[in-house]
Amino acid sequence: MKNKVVLITGGSSGIGKACAFAFGKAGSKVVITGRDQLRLDEVAADLAAHNIECLAVAGDVSNETDVQRMISETISRFQRLDILINNAGISMRALFEDLELDVIRKVMDINFWGTVYATKYALPYLTAAKGSIIGVSSIAGYRGLPGRTGYSASKFAMQGFLEALRTELLPKNVHVLVACPGFTASNIRNTALAANGQVQGESPRDEGKMMTAEEVADHILRATIHRQRDLVLTFQGKFTIFLNRWFPSLADKLVYNHMKKEKDSPFK
């Protein structure tokens, strides 16, 4: 990772911020993006205090023009791009029958289209570097989660896109990694959208019992170094995928009952 240039979308908190430190400490130059300039500047200052060279670029990944500018500023500063980590994401929680469709559009715009835009405009530089494209997905990209239809759809779409792209890029030796962390302690549940599009606020799960963002970032770093194609974390995540593949009807019931137990569950 020495002197590699890494661009991380959604880099001001959670897994994105943890990846900035993990890759930076491994010797990379880091570009972080996000919508909140103040938070980006705070993280950039913290990175600099750890002797990590960093560029903070404010922008919205669901805005194609913003993404073009993110890539342009990265190349202007560092003249190259080796690794793209598509981490920016948003979740939602509501029954589909109660859901305003704009919620799904917003989730798709950020989680799926944000990945498409960033990958499209970064691809010439990543191809030149024979670099890595990383999608931070979810177990919800393998197994649809009740109460999270829009989120599951966005992660299935991301994984299908990256799988197809990986195959297209085989002759060019560009590495594509799909990372599925499982439930991770971050703010994604706090910022999840409710049925009416308002931010949920309080997390419905015990964040203290989850894998930390720093642990996830360390796994992603190692998977990038070894150019793995897939990364599935936590026993619960691996077991869910196994059940869904071999015992799908049982998985339906177990997943439903598990999600039903969440605090303030939308299930009646």
| Catalytic residue numbers, as ranges | 151
Joined together, the tokens standing for residue 100 give 């305003």
Q: What type of residue is 22?
A: A
Q: What DSSP string describes 150-195? A: HHHHHHHHHHHHHHHHHHHTGGGT-EEEEEE--SEESSTTTS-B-T
CB neighbours of residue 167 within 10 Å: 9
Joined together, the tokens standing for residue 168 give 């297209």
Joined together, the tokens standing for residue 117 give 């835009």
Between CA 13 and CA 19 the distance in angstroms is: 10
Give every CB contact of residue 91 below 8 A, 6+ residues apart in sequence.
107, 148, 151, 188, 189, 191, 192, 193
Q: Is the dihedral of CA 6, 9, 10, 14 positive or negative?
A: negative
Q: Which strands make up the sheet holding 5-8, listed edge to edge?
A: 54-58, 29-34, 5-8, 83-86, 132-136, 175-180, 230-232
SS3 85: strand
